[in-house]
Amino acid sequence: MKKFGLYITAAMMTTGIIMWGEPMVSHAEPIMVEANENAGFETEDEDIDEDSPVLEVAGSEREDTSNSGPDLTVQARRREEAAAQAAEAEAAAAAAQVASKRQSVVNYALQFVGGPYRAGGNDPHTGADCSGFVKYVMQYGAGVSMNRSSVTQSTQGVAINANQMQPGDLIFYGNGSRINHVAMYIGNGQIVHASTYTTGIKISNWNYRTPVKITNVLG
């Protein structure tokens, strides 16, 4: 009987039927956890390392997003600056073009210095009066069409002050407010004009007479 009892006990141990006061599975859980830890598996209570490659990639992605380009305010300011620079360049180019045109018409007029004065004349090559001279020079030296008399020429262009004069502007003289003479300002306080029969086309100081009006017809 003793041997029979030992056989039963051995068989029960082998099949796991023997009871220890608590279910065997409760004793197996620590063993499974320990086995998992020994095998390198993490349990659900394990924290993720902050320096893990997964977090590093996520951090890089966040950095790339934040530095994807300048914000809208910076972009708008750059566009405004570029537009302002373009406008300045355009204005400078336009001013240079006008200055070149002014100097060109002055040079054209100066070639007739010493030419004859002729009342009613329209061509400085053969003789011209003051308004005929200005009309001819403006037309062929600057491409600007002018009226024939000094009175009507004074109505063209924009009236300016003496401190605004530039080469190519027109200065009108008269008795009181009545205009009877016109000349072209050539710079450095001087004018070129068809003056009298005696002197012909010559250069004078701009204020040799008191100006009645000064105009800018070249822009």
DSSP string over 164-178: G--TT-EEEEEETTE
Burial class (CB in 10 A: 0-12, 13-18, 19+), 140: middle
Rounded Cα distance between 134 and 122, Å, is 9
Q: What are phi and psi of 173, to 5 degrees?
A: -120, 165
Tracing tokens 């796991």 back to the chain, one arrives at 16
Q: Which run of H or E residues covers position 35?
A: helix 24-38
At 147 the three-state DSSP class reads coil
Q: Which of 105, 109, 130, 134 is catalytic?
A: 130
Cα–Cα–Cα angle for 73, 79, 80, rounded to 5 degrees: 90
In angstroms and rounded to an integer, the radius of gyration of the C-alpha atoms of the chain is 51
| 193 classed as catalytic | yes
Active-site position among 181, 184, 192, 211: 181
Measured in whole angstroms, the distance separating CA 33 from the mean position of its chain's CA atoms is 71
Separation between Cα atoms, residue 27 and residue 136, nearest integer Å: 121
**How far apart (Å, rounded) are the C-alpha atoms in residues 39 and 118?**
120
Backbone dihedral angles phi then psi of residue 127, each to the nearest 5 degrees: 130, 135
Is residue 119 flagged as an active site residue?
no
Q: Which of 193, 201, 212, 217 is catalytic?
A: 193
Catalytic residue annotation: 130, 181, 193
